[in-house]
Amino acid sequence: MPRSTLAVATTCLLVGLSREAQCFAPTTRRRTRTPSSTHLHRRRHQPSRRPTATALAGDVATEESVETVQDESLADPASVVFYDDFLDPDNPLGVVCARGVCVLPDFDDDVPTIGSSNGEGAVTTSMPPLGDQSLVERILGSYLGPRLLLAFASVLYGTNFPLGSMMNDSLPPSAATSARMLLASLALSPFLLKLEGELAASALLCGTFTAVGYISQSLSLVDTSPAKVAFLGAATVLVCPALEALVDGKDVSVGKRPQTWLAAALCLSGVGILELWNPGSGGGDAAGALGGIGVGDLLALLQAVGFGTSFFLTERMMTKVPGQALPITAVQVSVTALLSMVWCVSDGWIGTEGAGSYGLPSMFLEPTLRMASLAVLWTGIATTALNRFIETTALGKMKSAEASVILATEPLWASLFAALWLGEDFGANDYVGGALIVLACLATALRREDFAFVLGNEEKEQLR
C-alpha cells in the first residue's frame, strides 16, 4: 500500500491527496457501513471465512461457508475487510485509539504473508518483498519506525506550550490562536468534504469543546508557566473516564477499571503538589497555598476539560466509523478558527493602533513580529495539521497501550523546551507533581489483568 513520506506530508494535506479503498461486508455480521480501508482484519486463531479455492470449485469446504456481498453504499471495492466486530468500541483489538484518534490496526502478529496458504486454503496477505519496498515502507514496516514517528509527534506537541507563551508576548492571545487555527484549517480543508454525513453534528459539537481547550490553553499561558500548563493539561486522564461513566454508563468501579483509579489517584496527587506545595515558602498554611492558585491555573484545568471531552467525543465517532481522523480534525480546527475569530472581535483590539499587523498575512511582513509569526506558522501547520497526519500514519502500527505511553511524554518535552527557550526554572514541586501526572498517563496503558495480584478471588477467576 503506497505511503507518502514526511517530506511531502504537508503537500499532501494542502492538495488533499487521499486514498479511497472499499470493502465488503459478510452478511452474517451486522450490516454496518464501514470506512474506507485497505486493511485486512481477521479474528485471531480462527480460519478465514473467505471461500477457499476448493469450495469455489464445488468441493465440500471443511470450514463454514459464508456469503459475502457488496456493500451497496460502496462501489468497486479495492479490498476485503473481515469485520470480526472491529467496530465494537469495547474490542481493544478492533481499533487503535490514543489521544482522541482511532485508526484501523495495520498489524497482526498471527497473520502469515501475502500470497501464501495457511494450510487451510485461506488467502493470506503481507508486505511486498523487501527489495520492492520504498524507504518509507521499510521504516513504517519496521518495529521501531512507527514508534519513533509517534515519539516525534509527541515532541512536536511539546513545543506548543513554550511557543504559545512566546506568541502571547507579542500578540493578543486571541490573535495568536485565531491565526494558528486559520492556518491549520486551511491545511486540513481538503478533508472537510470527506467527513461522513452521519458524523457532522457530533463533529461540530466536538469542535466546540476543542475550541474551549485551545482558547483556555492560550489564556492560561499569559501568566502561567508553559510546563505547568502542559502538566495540568494532562488531567484529561480524569475527564475521559468520568465521561465514560456519566454519558455511556460504563462500569468504572475499582474491580472493573483499577487502572483508571490508579491514574486518577496519581493525577490528583500530582495536581495537588503542583498547586499547593511550595517548598520555597517554608511550609505556610493551607489558606496561603490556596491563595497562590491563579486564574491561569484554573484555565489550564479547563483546558483539560475541553480537550478531554473532545477526545471522548472523537473516539466515540471513530470507533463507529474508523478512518475519519483527518476529516474530524479538519472540522475541529475549523470550528476553533471560527470561534477564535469571534473571540478576536470581542477582545477589543481590532481597530486599535498597530492592530492591522496582528492578522494574516500582515504579521509575516512586520519585522517586530517575525518570531511570533514563525511560531504561529509552526504551531498551525506543523504541530496541529501535520502532527495529526503523523499520528494517523503511525498509530495503526502499534497497540493502544504502547501509543498512550509514547504520547504521555508530551509534558516532559514541553518542560524541556520551556527550560531551553525561556530559561524556566523548576522547583521540587514541579518535579514531583509533574512526575506523578506523567505516571498517571502511563497508568492508563495498564490492563485489568495487570492488577490480578491485588484483586479479589472472584475477579481473578473472571480474568482466567
Give the whole-angstrom CA distance, residue 92 versus residue 445.
12
Q: What is the pLDDT of residue 143?
A: 87
Q: What length is written for the chain?
A: 464
Q: What are phi and psi of 296, to 5 degrees?
A: -60, -35
Give the whole-angstrom CA distance, residue 47 versus residue 167.
57
Local structure of 98: helix, strand or coil: strand
Q: Which residues contact 238 (CB under 8 A, 6 or more apart)?
A: 263, 264, 267, 268, 304, 308
Q: What are phi and psi of 185, to 5 degrees?
A: -70, -35
Whether residue 110 is contained in a domain is answered as: no
Give the whole-angstrom CA distance, residue 411 versus residue 417.
10
The grid coordinates listed for 320 are 463507529
Q: What is the pLDDT of residue 202?
A: 95
Q: What is the pLDDT of residue 77?
A: 33
Q: What is the pLDDT of residue 82?
A: 28
Closest by CA to 167, choosing from 175, 233, 95, is: 175
Is 9 buried (19+), middle (13-18) or exposed (0-12) by CB count in 10 A? middle
Give the whole-angstrom CA distance, residue 403 versus residue 147.
8
Q: Which residues sit opposite 26 in a β-bridge?
A: 68
pTM of the complete model beyond 0.75: no
Whether residue 158 is contained in a domain is answered as: yes
Q: Which residues contact 58 (CB under 8 A, 6 or more apart)?
A: none
Whether residue 248 is contained in a domain is answered as: yes
The Cα angle at residue 160 between residues 155 and 166, in degrees rounded to 5: 130
The grid coordinates listed for 328 are 474530524
DSSP characters over 12-31 = HHHHT-------EEETTS--
The grid coordinates listed for 81 are 475487510
Whether residue 111 is contained in a domain is answered as: no
Q: What is the pLDDT of residue 214?
A: 97
Give the whole-angstrom CA distance, residue 299 versus residue 305.
10
Task: Kindly report the number of other CB atoms within 10 A of residue 428's CB atom.
Answer: 12
Give the whole-angstrom CA distance, residue 44 versus residue 85.
12
Place of cell 499520528: 391
Whether residue 55 is contained in a domain is answered as: no
Whether residue 128 is contained in a domain is answered as: no
Q: Contacts by 120-123 with C-beta closer than 8 Å and gap 24+?
A: 120/47, 120/48, 120/52, 120/62, 120/63, 121/52, 121/53, 121/54, 121/55, 121/61, 122/47, 122/48, 122/50, 122/52, 123/48, 123/50
Count structural domains, the chain.
1
Whether residue 188 is contained in a domain is answered as: yes
Q: What is the pLDDT of residue 455?
A: 63
Q: Which residue type, as a one-letter code, is found at position 69? A: V
Give the whole-angstrom CA distance, residue 262 versus residue 219.
30
Q: Name the strand (E) or helix (H) holding 105.
A: none
Q: Which stretches of 348-427 are DSSP H helices? A: 370-377, 387-395, 400-407, 410-422
Half-sphere exposure of residue 164: CA atoms within 13 angstroms, side-chain side = 33
pLDDT tens series, the chain, 464 aa: 343 333 333 343 333 333 333 332 333 333 333 333 333 333 333 444 444 433 434 443 444 444 444 444 333 333 222 223 334 444 444 677 787 777 777 765 443 333 344 444 433 444 556 566 778 788 888 888 899 999 999 999 999 999 999 999 999 999 999 999 999 999 999 999 999 999 999 999 999 999 999 999 999 999 999 999 999 999 998 998 899 899 988 888 888 889 889 999 999 999 989 887 776 655 555 555 565 688 999 999 999 999 999 999 998 898 888 788 899 999 999 999 999 999 999 999 998 888 889 999 999 999 999 999 999 999 999 999 999 889 888 888 888 778 888 999 999 999 999 999 999 988 888 999 999 999 999 988 888 888 877 765 555 555 55
Local structure of 97: helix, strand or coil: strand
Range of the domain at 317: 141-446+455-463
Tell me which DSSP letter residue 280 carries: G
Q: Which stretches of 247-364 are DSSP H helices? A: 258-276, 286-291, 295-320, 325-347
Residues 222/173, Cβ–Cβ less than 8 Å: yes
Whether residue 103 is contained in a domain is answered as: no
Q: What is the pLDDT of residue 440?
A: 92
Q: What is the pLDDT of residue 142?
A: 87
Give the whole-angstrom CA distance, residue 14 versus residue 23.
27
